Structure 1
Amino acid sequence: MLNLKKGRYVARLAEGPEDIRAAQDLRTLAFLGHAGGDRRDADEFDAICAHILVEDTRDGRLVCCFRILPLTGGQEIGRSYSARYYELSSLEQFEGPMVEMGRFCIHPDVKDPDILRVAWGAMTAYVDRNGVELLFGCSSFKGIDADQYLDAFAMLKERHLAPKRWLPRVKAPRVFPFARKLRRKPDAKLAMLRMPPLLRTYLMMGGWVSDHAVVDAQMNTLHVFTGLEINAIPPARKRLLRATTG
């Protein structure tokens, strides 16, 4: 059973309905901007996913969470949350075990970079333990105004598009086709400032993205499909990640 401690934070698997509800409450706050009411971030995937919680050991406060859906290979990718928004038939040919990482969020009032490190350490431990070969999910930009992220999208187009053999195709009714639409040269500094932290980490490890962003008005996000082939992670990056799991 996963239980990883680093500094003042501990990552663990959710153990029951109360833990899952706590994760849903944090997601509601992070994604929808409120901490109660009738509308909460919960769906049918919660019942079939494992949930990882990162807590502050000083007071037990939940500061980060995400959920993982293990798949035996590409033939099961149609079961994923991402398949609702992206046409993923190209990835049906991927033969190794894969995991969808979803609903990743950090408490909006907490800014400690160690939280992201512990979360990735927990994910790395899971990947190593289960022989995962592809990690994927949807990486979200806050809001649906693409204009504030043009340098980030131009950077994704220039350096980080998925290999053609794995490239997702358009399925969602509203998308921003940045790879086709943008002609600008990205300002690298602005691009990285506007890039979501989770996506930055994917990219630093060699991750790649779809050529379009889905406009998700319900969640008030723009998101790109993101994939990371574990065997392609540079050795130095792997060492850094595994140092967090020790």
Structure 2
Amino acid sequence: MREVMIEDSPHTTSLPIVRATRLMGGKLLGRIGTLEVRLARDADEIEAAQRVRYRVFHEELGAQAHSAGMQERRDADRFDDVCDHLLVFDTSVDAPATEQIVGTYRMLRQDAAESAGGFYSSDEFEFEKLVRRHPNLRFLELGRSCVLPQYRSRRSIELLWQGIWAYVNHYQIDVMAGCASFHGAVPAAHAEALSYLAHNARAQGAWDVAAVPARYHSMDLMPPEAVNVRSALAALPPLIKGYLRVGAKIGDGCVIDHDFATTDVFVVLQVREIASRYINYYGADAQRFAA
């Protein structure tokens, strides 16, 4: 769930591969004002989303890019071909659709992950162990989310959530999961926020997910009594706060991603645990667009 979303939203979730771009036909999944959200329809729109990701992750935030990515100015990897790409368009821009894309979220369903040899997050966290513990549930990995600076508002975030909720309903997803990031590759710089997560938001029992041993860093950097809840919450990245609000839990340990200069945690969100007030908030539009 590596992400760049600045504003908080107050309401911030082995079968043959069947791509959502075919099943959902690139149809509209949500609309707020001039902004619309739907899945990428073709390779051109996916490449446009990769260029948006490059602008945010590499040009704005300084993530390392391989030589091909730098030449083409695209953030891309092998998972893009098996993922579905949720896109936000600003339809007020008088330009082709590929130039209207202002935000994106990448979604990897369990069946596609199996064909790709695993989930993106598995390099950092023991995601497959979680999936094996719940063989009857459908998992969805979320990641690579970003919004261009001028569109980082409550409206854009809510629209992405609306699209995700329509997608989750369409595919009857049971669990959403993936990495979420703190900016900076020094966990101690986020000691209070990470400690808050360790003490108050940990996944338990069959839902716990640990960082892979070779990359594990403790999040428990301060004793509970030393954590100021208000300042810890204020220091959390907006997307992590959003996931916590709807009922998500955090795995065991954090991981340093040197390529992206981030400190990553693992987020697990059972769809059935999403608070009813959030389901009611997104439900009407999601059911309408997912139908």
What's the TM-score once normalised by structure 1's chain length? 0.90
Give the Cα separation in 2 of the matches to 1:197 and 1:132. 23
User: Are residues 1:220 and 2:246 paired?
Assistant: no
Number of the residue aligned with 1:26: 52
Give the Cα separation in 2 of the matches to 1:108 and 1:144. 22
Matched residue SS, 1:178: coil
Number of the residue aligned with 1:10: 36
Give the Cα separation in 1 of the matches to 2:106 and 2:228. 33
Deviations 1:22-44 (A, max 9, x none): 11111112212259833642100
Equivalent residue letter for 1:68: M
Give the Cα separation in 2 of the matches to 1:110 and 1:194. 21
Q: Note if contact 2:178-2:266 (Cα within 8 Å) is conserved in structure 1.
A: yes
Cα 1:209–1:27 change in 2 (3 A) is same
Give the Cα separation in 2 of the matches to 1:240 and 1:207. 17
Equivalent residue letter for 2:104: C
Give the Cα separation in 2 of the matches to 1:227 and 1:78. 21
The equivalent position to 1:183 in structure 2, one of 223, 226, 242, is 223
What's the TM-score once normalised by structure 2's chain length? 0.77
The equivalent position to 1:125 in structure 2, one of 166, 175, 179, is 166
User: Are residues 1:234 and 2:260 paired?
Assistant: no
Number of the residue aligned with 2:132: 92
Unaligned 5+ runs, structure 1? none
CA RMSD of aligned residues (A): 2.5
Matched residue SS, 1:144: coil
Give the Cα separation in 2 of the matches to 1:174 and 1:93. 22
Cα displacement (A) at 1:174 = 3.3
Matched residue SS, 2:144: strand
User: Are residues 1:37 and 2:70 paired?
Assistant: yes
Cα 1:87–1:194 change in 2 (3 A) is same
Relative CO higher for 1 or 2, CA cutoff 8 Å, sep ≥ 6? 2
Q: Note if contact 1:77-1:92 (Cα within 8 Å) is conserved in structure 2.
A: no
Number of the residue aligned with 1:64: 103
Query: How many residues get paired?
Result: 245
Equivalent residue letter for 2:223: R
Cα 1:29–1:187 change in 2 (3 A) is farther
Give the Cα separation in 1 of the matches to 2:47 and 2:110. 24
Equivalent residue letter for 1:91: V
Cα displacement (A) at 1:53 = 0.4
User: Are residues 1:109 and 2:150 paired?
Assistant: yes
Unaligned 5+ runs, structure 2? 1-23, 63-68, 94-98
Give the Cα separation in 1 of the matches to 2:78 and 2:160. 23
More deviation in 90-99 or 165-174? 165-174
Number of the residue aligned with 2:85: 51
More deviation in 231-240 or 116-125? 231-240
Deviations 1:112-167 (A, max 9, x none): 21100000000001111111100111111111122332221122112211112121
Matched residue SS, 2:31: strand
